[in-house]
Amino acid sequence: MTGFLGRNRWWIGRIAVLPVHLLVFAVAAFFLVRAIPGDPAREVVGPEATEADYLATKAELGLDGSLWSQLMTYLGNLLHFDLGNAIMTGRPVTTDIADRLPGTVELAGIAFTVLITVT
C-alpha cells in the first residue's frame, strides 16, 4: 500500500505546473492580440478624431508604454482579476462575464447531460 504522495503523484505534478501553463497561455494571448493588424486606440476614437483625442485614448488604454510595460501591466491586472472595461459596452469585463456565466454553465450542463444520455 502506497502513501498519499505515491497515489497522487500525477495530480500533484499537474497542479504544480499549472501556474507555468497559465503564464504561458496569458503571454501567448497577449502577443496574439498584439499581432492583430490595426491600432485599437484609432478604432476606439474613430477616423475623424483629433490627434489629441487619439493620444489621450491611447494613454487611457495603456498603449502608450513599451511592449514590456504593457505585458507586465496586463499580467498584473490578470493576477488581480482586473480585466478592464469592454470597448463596446464600457462596462467592466468581469461584470459582462458574470452576467453571461449562468447561461454558459446551464448550456454546458445540458450538453453534458445529452452527451451522457447518447453514449
Long-range contacts made by residues 75-78, C-beta under 8 angstroms, separation at least 24? 75/23, 75/26, 75/27, 75/30, 78/26
pLDDT tens string 25-70: 999 999 999 999 988 899 889 889 999 999 999 999 889 999 999 9
Task: Please tell me the pTM assigned to this model.
Answer: 0.75
pLDDT tens string 59-110: 998 899 999 999 999 999 999 999 998 888 889 999 999 999 999 999 999 9
